Amino acid sequence: MSLDNVNDIEELRYLKDLKNGRREAFDFIYARYSKMLLPKMQRMIKSNEIVDELMQDVFLKIWLHKSEINLDKSFKGWIFKVAQNTIYAYYRKLALDAKMQKHILETFAAFYDQTEDYIFNKERISLLNEAIEKLPPQRKEIFKLCRMEGKTYQEAAEILSLSASTVSNQLVSATKYIKRYVFFHNQEFILFCIAAYLNK
């Protein structure tokens, strides 16, 4: 039996115990996987203090969701996914800070200017829908009519019993909000922008 097989059998035993809430099993998993996660997290985040905090968050999630561990699937893949999502959540929180947003918009203006061109991309349709749902009711209807159904300002104005100028102003505001929402909630751009900022 190879060393890898021995390790797999040992890990499987500890994972079964972890699912049953045994603390010593958690300690074993923490000792094994924190060593694997540390270099990856340090590459993505330059502060050791923040890495330590996020590492604790990762393993807190593992403990709280231990019943969801699937013994038939790779635990390594699962915990690395949890770590990745934890790091993304940190970056997203950082990116939503007003000062950081201002810096990102100034530094990555070219990317931001292109946002309107790709908000209708099928890969981002869920983000688009999230942003639309956060609009005030009237603004939401105007955006849907003009940007998604292709109505003219005048046609939308007649449907909603508004003036064409009101439709135009509301559409500008709606588009600006959605563009900003999609930009700052897109994992690809957040990770790229924050990483570039931290590496300066």
Please choose, from the candidates 130, 135, 125, 124, the residue with its C-alpha nearest in 3D space to the C-alpha of residue 175: 135
What is the model's pLDDT at position 63? 94
Give ∠ CA 86-7-63 in degrees, rounded to 5. 30
Residue with token string 């563009």: 179
User: What was the pLDDT predicted at 28?
Assistant: 93
Domains and CATH numbers, the chain: 3-95 (1.10.1740.10), 98-198 (1.10.10.10)
* Model pLDDT, residue 188: 67
The predicted pLDDT at position 4 comes to 39
d(CA 78, CA 36): 13
At residue 21, φ and ψ (nearest 5 deg) are: 85, 20
What pTM was estimated for this model as a whole?
0.54
- Nearest-CA neighbor of 50 among 86, 8, 100, 21? 86
Token reading at 143: 């955006």
pLDDT at site 124: 66
Residues of the chain with pLDDT under 70: 1-7, 95, 103-124, 187-200
